[in-house]
A and B are shown apart, each in its own frame.
Chain A
């Protein structure tokens, strides 16, 4: 990518495209966080750790049973959905009316438990999931595209489309959106808001776990990877507007592009600084986010 013979325009398009591809997965993590926030008004600080569990699940399926990481999504989605639902029922449900700071600390605590339990089981060694296509890429109009990133982007797009359909067209999706809009009014309309909360948290965990499965061929797998992605998920959701699914999709892709361009034009060490600077600027000047008015 940094060969000097590359034309400046080509370099730009190249990094733009790889940014969009990575951004797709970021969007998935962000959408999960935003659904949880929308329905329960809880900021889930364990979100990246839930994603990390998805990564280890995929890693185990691959090393023990030889399941391809992209096929393992079929296992990941239901397992992580149940895991998320269980977390909501056992822990989150009890603090729905607590002080916001206590809600934040509880999810931080849950995240610490998850990452340290994984560290006990798998040690803190970096694990690599190498498939035969992990480093392969194909060329499209002179732009080289990483194969695992391209596949994961397509899967992300399909999942996001199905999710939109679910939220917009199905009865349950509408019930979830109604709960997000006004919890009390939804309850008065006969919606089981407790059940919707469990489903929303399950959905968020499933999306995070899927994102973990999708990035496992391209990232190192280690127990502490979660906090980086939790922070990234916050940046994405705040950028798009807390509680907005379309906003989170847009935010994810924007952050992917910002990181990719930052790595090429500034330096890979400073690219994350750029992300947090954008985050603070958005918080200061447009705290409702880019699409803050719409909710889910």
Chain B
């Protein structure tokens, strides 16, 4: 009950202007699919929502509690695999699979947490990677259960029906769009609550100084595990959503170190420990990597006359640039850490306040 009281109390303190902007953007996003009748635009938006969910959920553990897990693929993969195994081999509709995935993820998180949270700093990072690698190798080796390296391909998605009433049928992109939007808004709301509630203050106290927080009566291991459980639950949600939307999972995509790194990068690039940092990160990363993947950049260079299509350089770019969308992640993270350690959001904020100061 006290938690609800707290939430209502904090909602009262919100200033109206950001809230109105937020509601306006949400309204525009709700009207997006009927107005923009393009499956590709919807696809990009869905990927952005997915990245927002992944980034925000990592943010709760990494940004607010200061525990830099580079093993979030474990929870993403747990959600994806639970949903897919139930859907493909047991014909359970993905909605139930998603809930089962969250349960499995929280359980996994508590086991991994009980090992990793005894360690700090770089040792914690290494342990979180090792735990995830163990999961990846297990998924690879338990062939009867997970199909091993072959992965699981979704043949058809059983619709969710109550009697004869069809709730979702997943034949178009629209249901994915709205589900993704609702999940993304939910995880943003949870992050907002975390930032403004007492639990969130405990998280942030641990981030600033674990020993000081402990001496003030905050139980670090309790709050770290709580933060990890919340974070893992939403990461698992992203995993289930990814599995159903893409329709194919295998250990080297959903349980890999690359996936863990990608989850961290969304947050780092946008701005760590801020509510809208991961949103900015997703808005930067997804369109950029999609532009590379779909060869828009090469086409642009060719039509702009910068590169001749038939020249060796043009041919090379056309063939290879599409495979290099991860390269952009690498370059971005190096640039962000060297030149904008607070992320794009922090960088913009610094420029704006700098200008204001100059004006004054």
Question: Interface on A for B, CB 8 Å cutoff?
Answer: 43, 91, 94-95, 98-102, 104-106, 108-113, 116-117, 119-120, 123-124, 227, 231, 234-235, 238, 267, 269-270, 272-273, 276-277, 279-280, 283-284, 287
Verify B334–A109 contact, CB threshold 8 A: yes
Contacting pair B133 A276 (CB below 8 A): yes
Shortest Cβ distance from B141 into A: residue: A269
Q: List 18 A-B contacts (CB under 8 A).
A: A91-B334, A98-B341, A104-B122, A109-B332, A110-B334, A112-B326, A112-B329, A112-B333, A113-B334, A116-B326, A117-B327, A120-B324, A234-B126, A234-B129, A234-B130, A269-B140, A273-B141, A283-B130
* Known contacts A231-B133, A269-B141: A284-B333 contact under CB 8 Å: no
Asked whether, in the complex, the Cβ of B337 is within 8 Å of the Cβ of A95, the reply is yes
For residue A241, give the distance in angstroms from its CB to the closest CB of chain B: 12
Contact B68 A104 (CB under 8 A): yes
Q: B287: CB under 8 A from chain A?
A: no
Given A43-B122, A269-B137, output 15 extra A-B contacts at Cβ < 8 Å: A91-B334, A95-B337, A99-B341, A102-B337, A104-B125, A105-B333, A111-B330, A112-B261, A113-B327, A120-B321, A227-B258, A269-B141, A273-B141, A279-B127, A280-B131
Closest chain B CB from A132 CB (angstroms): 32
Indicate if the CB atoms of B323 and A112 lie closer than 8 Å.
Answer: no
| Contact status A100-B119, CB under 8 Å | no
Decide if B261 touches A287 in the complex (CB within 8 Å).
no
Interface residue count on the B side (C-beta < 8 Å): 41
Report Cα–Cα, A106/B336, bound state, in Å: 9
Most central of B121, B125, B268, B329 by chain A CB within 10 Å = B125
A267 to B140, CA, bound (A): 13
* Alpha-carbon separation in the docked complex, A134 to B119 (Å): 43
Q: How far does the alpha carbon of A116 sit from the alpha carbon of B324 in the complex, in Å?
A: 6
Q: Quick one: given A119-B324, A277-B134, A280-B131, are A91 and B338 in contact (CB under 8 Å)?
A: yes
B140 — which chain A residues lie within 8 A by C-beta? 269
A113 engages B119 (CB within 8 Å): no
